[in-house]
Structure 1
């Protein structure tokens, strides 16, 4: 007798009508845009926020840290949510919470209200960012269609950070700092009905059991690690606070691995990391983020603190970087089907390493044309070539049922790399500036920034070396990837 329910051997996805790919891609790009914009757009507004709400010097950092902690701590769990509850439910809930908390943050009248709103934004962002990659992996077949989708997704990711700096400067200077949060509300209002119209929620044969202990341990380990990193501006690397935080994060991580090995339905099926493309891609994105996050941070400080740029001019200075990223992703999408991932990844990372190292030669009496434009174009084009390529390599061969897990792993590696890299580079730059003969002047500041840029270049060069040595020449076919255990034991993992 015919039935509409999928058989036990049939994937839930096979029983569904294919979604409208254009609308799906619009939704995932809007999700990506909201998260990426929010990471960068607030930074330019921090001085205005401090003056308006009365933040203390130490308290102001929690406008950023509250978001970073919840976002970074929940990324791994957020990457699994879409697999467990469905794409549409995750998208609608994530967009709704992000829009609402952005509105509440913009209306905040006290520092505490804003910090709580930013923490809640981070929770929503931790679900939306992995979801955007999960939906692409599940919707677009491996090959040219997925490459094109990833290229647009990557262009939004790469350009969004630089556009956020420009948008934050314009909104802060000509309207009010509150608009850097209000801007998310119309984006959510547009994205929610689109998500309801084109995304679907799969119906597994049975309801999976949630790995509560694994989720708690993973979230705690990530949160403690990020917290230890963001507090290195107050506590030195050798202090009991920092060393204790790192030791606790390591202990929680080890406990998480032990629990996942012994759990019938784990949050993270550790066997997925036996797919070399995914494990190498996680290492590569970790090293890229270590260098890239710090470079953005120090470029903004150099432009405003040394060259005396206004917030708007600082944002405009990042426009060539956005153009380079978009150009790189377009070229990568056209070349990847013919060349494969590894040549583009190694070439792009090599260019990015050269560009970041070139930034290391900035001078205290420099200029945009002489010190910023050239390295911006080279580094951004290289990053555009490699960011989407690395994502394609990492998700290649991953089953649809574990697309969210792979996305969560890649995004967690990126967030951890960014937090650790920024903390390390800030420490290096501060030490160089402190030991300079002019520690409070532009010469001393530039010396510290330059050293940080050089280390950024070295970190990205290490990513190029890792890709060249360890990434397979050709991505595995889905059948070559280690298969999940039978559905009766690891449906949720």
Structure 2
């Protein structure tokens, strides 16, 4: 008989439902990118207004995540997953039927709100359905692999639908998928125990408004510059509101973000490293697409398929995480993955108008895919390790907040880098290539900071935690 652990049939169904729900969220973050030109032509968006097709979703998702996580603790996480799926699916239908820019943006914001309810429920349900140890590590590795391939899959599907059918098809496909997932969740997922108490309305309002103002200020800075008075006002308001949020959470009896989650250096490092990692990687996804289409002349479908050197290695390396973790340790594996991604981004920082796809794009993509596959699983494990069942929803919500806000803040910073890189002697495709090369250098800096956080906070804490286990194992081997 094989000693390899396997999941019962119902556990496999639980994992499939959770992963598919999370994948649907991730795909919709990126599915619009390759279809943006068709959306702009079809609905008459202006150049600045078009950016809000993405921003409306991100702001609603990032701003409401903590409230969604806390609601799951109080009302039940399976109930929140079903509610999130229902809102997300109906919003997808509204997007597909949109006839005006305002209609589309409102539906995208509603879809982001559905994601904010759904995302923390998926990770919390995974933590409660799988016991801590090898079983949960395996499940979290699959969950993180889903996070890694979601963005690329969205780009491929977005390009496919935009080129062969319509950009609307990318949202219509959510209807049957959402219906099947809701039926499966009712059958296979059990409800989590509900906690007593009430929602922290003041905390939810200050965190939502603060994160929204902060992200809006960064997005506006990319469009209007750092000297714009509204940019500075909203950034200052965002920071003040987030400061007020932390003060409230320290005093309220039932906070949506228990500050005790930050008592662990390992967990705090995981949240910080995740934000920095996503901040850097968002530049890779967003701007590489522009390089492929604007410099190399790829079609939307070709641009989506061009990311396969990242997608396939990402999936393979993520599947190897459960085997590599016992040998290397999660922290070392995380550092190795960050180094691989950092090398890939530094390589992409050398692109120019004369760069060839295979030598200048595909090979660094391979490094990035291999690295990303082993980065996200340990970051997810460290972010929820040692968390009590009562705090599972808040911890998982904070993972997703770090994920979304890291990407939103990183994109805002990198768009400023893109706009500032304007050599006088360049124009057209050479100028675009130069700007994107500067963005990749900026992304590499963010990943270098994530690696520094890993070396200073996560690796030492992980080494201290593993030392007693190694001593016990040595004693067991030497005991007569």
TM range (shorter): over 0.9
Q: Deviations over 1:87-130 (max 9, x none)?
A: 21111111111111101110111222111111100000112122
Q: Deviations over 1:223-258 (max 9, x none)?
A: 111111222232212322222111101110111111
Q: Which position in structure 1 is the counterpart of 2:114?
A: 124
Q: Tell whether 2:444 aligns with 1:454.
A: no
Note if contact 2:137-2:381 (Cα within 8 Å) is conserved in structure 1: yes
Q: Which position in structure 1 is the counterpart of 2:379?
A: 390
Shift of 1:395: 0.9
Shift of 1:186: 1.6
Q: Tell whether 2:451 aligns with 1:464.
A: yes
Q: d(CA) in 2 for partners of 1:266 and 1:370?
A: 51
Q: d(CA) in 2 for partners of 1:22 and 1:277?
A: 30
Q: Which position in structure 1 is the counterpart of 2:425?
A: 437
RMSD: 1.6
Note if contact 1:286-1:413 (Cα within 8 Å) is conserved in structure 2: yes
Q: Which position in structure 1 is the counterpart of 2:388?
A: 399
Q: Tell whether 2:272 aligns with 1:280.
A: no
Q: d(CA) in 2 for partners of 1:203 and 1:144?
A: 24
Q: d(CA) in 2 for partners of 1:283 and 1:372?
A: 28
Note if contact 2:78-2:192 (Cα within 8 Å) is conserved in structure 1: no
Q: d(CA) in 2 for partners of 1:435 and 1:20?
A: 59
Shift of 1:475: 8.2
Note if contact 1:40-1:165 (Cα within 8 Å) is conserved in structure 2: yes
Q: d(CA) in 2 for partners of 1:78 and 1:368?
A: 42
The TM-score normalised by the length of structure 2 is 0.92
Q: d(CA) in 2 for partners of 1:412 and 1:267?
A: 13
Tell me, which stretches of 5 or more residues in structure 2 are unaligned?
1-7, 467-480
Q: d(CA) in 2 for partners of 1:215 and 1:368?
A: 46
Question: 1:323-362 alignment to 2 at 5 Å?
Answer: 323-362=312-351
Q: d(CA) in 2 for partners of 1:333 and 1:245?
A: 44
Note if contact 1:19-1:199 (Cα within 8 Å) is conserved in structure 2: no
Q: Which position in structure 2 is the counterpart of 1:422?
A: 411
Q: Which position in structure 2 is the counterpart of 1:5?
A: none
Shift of 1:476: 5.7
Q: Which position in structure 2 is the counterpart of 1:366?
A: 355
The TM-score normalised by the length of structure 1 is 0.90
Q: Which position in structure 2 is the counterpart of 1:313?
A: 302
Aligned residue for 1:59, secondary structure, equals helix
Aligned residue for 2:32, secondary structure, equals helix
Q: d(CA) in 1 for partners of 2:464 and 2:319?
A: 20
Q: Tell whether 2:108 aligns with 1:147.
A: no
Q: Which position in structure 2 is the counterpart of 1:162?
A: 152
Q: d(CA) in 2 for partners of 1:254 and 1:359?
A: 37
Q: d(CA) in 2 for partners of 1:23 and 1:82?
A: 21
Tell me, which stretches of 5 or more residues in structure 1 are unaligned?
1-17, 478-493
Q: Which position in structure 2 is the counterpart of 1:15?
A: none
